[in-house]
Amino acid sequence: MKLFVSFLLLFSVAATSVTATAQTAYESVRESTDVLLKRLVEVQPLYEEDPEQFFAAVQDALSPYIDFEGFAKGVMAKHYRSATMAQREAFLARFQDALIRTYATALLEFDNQTVIVVEPTTPPKTEDKATILIKVYSGSGTLYPVHYQLGLHEDGRWLLRNVIINGINIGLQFRSQFNAYMQKYKQDIDLVIQNWEVEVDDPS
């Protein structure tokens, strides 16, 4: 499965329309996942025809619905406080572009997977945060549990904050990567930003 499962979340949440603002997190994810599986058929051919158009189409779909700023801030963690505004904005742009391109390429791996959105049996602890379990079965029947961690935006949209796949916390993994880059580039945030690439361990 490589990276597909971990980035399935991004596109499924992104597919949720703004008109669904009254939905619960579960309803939002369930509906958007259905949309994803249909849109995959339309999106995949673009990669062969025009890769840049393919990446642009994915970015257009994702950008309004992912909390990239919050995600990037969490990745920088303690280094966010010491970074200048220009550095924060530069990392946000670099992080967003790298994540979208990695995700978009991962979309191409989708083939004969079964996706089940599990309805929560207990109410969320807070009204503005939710975790939704997605069960993804490969063509061979292997189960990959994915936990969507969402936050409720002030306009009523559920935005992606983090994803945990098969026990691997992607947000924390990116944070560890940033810390490792800081050591590698001798605490030079500018060099970290310039050399940033998305690295995600394959949990399969």
Residues contacting 6, CB < 8 A, separation 6+: 106, 146, 163, 165, 168, 170, 200, 203
**Domain edges within the chain:** 4-195
Task: Give residue 81's pLDDT.
Answer: 95
Task: Give residue 8's pLDDT.
Answer: 59
188-to-128, 131, 173 alpha-carbon distances in Å: 36, 35, 20
Which 3 state secondary structure label does DSSP give 196? coil
Task: Give residue 19's pLDDT.
Answer: 47
pLDDT < 70: residue spans in the chain:
1-22, 32, 35-41, 62, 64-65, 107, 110-112, 200-204
Q: Which fold has domain 4-195?
A: Nuclear Transport Factor 2; Chain: A, (3.10.450)
Task: Give residue 99's pLDDT.
Answer: 83
102-to-7, 109, 153, 193 alpha-carbon distances in Å: 8, 12, 25, 17
Task: Give residue 54's pLDDT.
Answer: 83
pTM of the model: 0.77
Q: Which amino acid is it at 50? A: D
Task: Give residue 110's pLDDT.
Answer: 64
The pLDDT tens digits of the residues spanning 17-31 come to 444 446 788 887 887
Task: Give residue 181's pLDDT.
Answer: 97
Task: Give residue 56's pLDDT.
Answer: 82
